[in-house]
């Protein structure tokens, strides 16, 4: 019987029970080529609880709109500040940010209508946001599991402490995450965590890479006893996960020189070595302007 390995459940699944999983969903800048077959039931759960949660994050929605990323629905994401107050009023309003399409639209749910410009002009509107840190870490763990297997296949399955990634996928409370991570060998960073001084150089490089992609990306960087996964979404670094691994037999030449990078731009995938992409980014930075000066 033909089966496929599902890294999310760590088991072989009959082909008839699988469907393609977008490792990075289209709504976050993914590509149809960057998929693996996984357990169909689990795929639907991941789509709503992990992929969907991040795609609907307020800060991510702003970038989705800026990059023109629509996802399966083919609709532009609505960027709404639901918890807003107008100066001098006691009832809440909702503010829809329209970007280049025009000024924000203010909706009064009590009167059930959009307020006119005359009713809001010159008034201060305060809004509150709630950003879930664990949405980024869970998404990064999901991407690392699938991308690691996509890139390294059996080497990944046999030599990585991928149970730590599955543990992180299941957690949905920031305090719980911090506590449980202390029980593992995994080190994590997300965009709301201060960068330690010893990691600042690498972090600056990863941030530069993610910005240079003009899309989304996954970096797989084997070390002596671990693999680092860097997950970038639509031009920004979102998380870095360092997972314990026996990397003795992992490839280190050709497309794996210093590591391997998957670039996702305009629904297309490109794979190349860390060294090759670093050289590409450096050449872009040093590209001379028309007046002969450098862009660096």
Instruction: List, for residues 10-25, the tens digit of each pLDDT value.
Output: 999 999 999 999 999 9
| Average pLDDT rounded to a whole number, residues 38-61 | 87
**In the predicted model, what is the mean pLDDT of the chain?**
89
| Average pLDDT rounded to a whole number, residues 230-244 | 96
Q: What is the pLDDT at residue 23? A: 96
Which range has highest mean pLDDT (40-44, 130-134, 251-255)?
Answer: 251-255
| Average pLDDT rounded to a whole number, residues 109-121 | 90
DSSP 287: -
**Residue 172: how many other CB atoms lie within 10 Å:** 14
Confidence check: pLDDT of 294 > 60: no
| Tokens at 292, concatenated | 């002969």
CA 13 to chain centre: 26
* Global pTM value: 0.90
Write the CA distances from 92 to 53, 105, 120, 122, 137, integer angstroms. Answer: 24, 14, 13, 18, 32
Model confidence at 284, in pLDDT bands (50, 70, 90)? confident
Helices (H), 7-99: 40-46, 52-55, 58-67
Confidence check: pLDDT of 278 > 90: yes
- Tell me the three state secondary structure of residue 237: strand
Model confidence at 92, in pLDDT bands (50, 70, 90)? very high
More confident residue, 263 or 90: 263
Domain boundaries, the chain: 77-128, 132-285
Closest Cα partner for 71 from 30, 34, 41?
Answer: 30
| Average pLDDT rounded to a whole number, residues 258-275 | 96
User: What is the Cα–Cα distance from 64 to 57, expressed in whole angstroms?
Assistant: 10
Instruction: Return the minimum-mean-pLDDT range out of 95-99, 161-165, 267-271, 283-287.
Output: 283-287
Please provide the DSSP assignment of 139-181 as one string: HHHHHHHHHHHHHHTHHHHHHB-THHHHHHHH---HHHHHHHH
């Amino acid at each position: 019987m033909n089966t496929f390995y599902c890294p999310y459940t760590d088991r072989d699944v009959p082909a008839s029970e699988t469907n393609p999983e977008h490792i990075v969903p289209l709504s976050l800048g993914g590509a149809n080529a960057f998929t693996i077959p996984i357990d169909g039931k689990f795929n639907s759960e991941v789509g709503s609880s992990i992929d969907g949660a991040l795609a609907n994050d307020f800060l991510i929605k702003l970038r989705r709109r800026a990059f023109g990323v629509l996802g399966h629905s083919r609709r532009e994401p609505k960027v709404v500040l639901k918890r807003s107050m107008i100066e001098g009023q006691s009832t809440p309003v909702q503010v829809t940010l329209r970007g280049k399409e025009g000024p924000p639209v203010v909706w009064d749910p009590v009167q059930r209508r959009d307020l006119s410009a005359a009713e809001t002009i010159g008034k201060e509107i305060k809004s509150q946001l709630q950003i879930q840190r664990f949405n980024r870490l869970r998404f990064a763990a999901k991407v690392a599991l699938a991308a690691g297997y996509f890139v390294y296949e059996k080497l990944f399955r046999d030599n990585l402490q991928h149970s730590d990634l599955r543990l992180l996928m299941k957690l949905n409370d920031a305090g719980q995450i911090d506590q449980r991570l202390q029980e593992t060998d995994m080190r994590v960073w997300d965009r709301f965590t201060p960068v330690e001084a010893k990691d600042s150089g690498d972090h600056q490089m990863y941030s530069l890479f993610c910005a240079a992609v003009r899309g989304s990306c996954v970096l797989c960087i084997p070390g002596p006893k671990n693999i680092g996964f860097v997950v970038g979404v639509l031009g920004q670094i979102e998380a870095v996960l360092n997972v314990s691994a026996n990397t003795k037999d992992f490839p280190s030449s050709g497309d794996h020189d210093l590591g391997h990078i998957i670039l996702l731009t305009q629904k297309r995938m490109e794979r190349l070595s860390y060294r090759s992409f670093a050289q590409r980014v450096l050449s872009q930075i040093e590209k001379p302007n028309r007046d002969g000066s450098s862009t660096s």
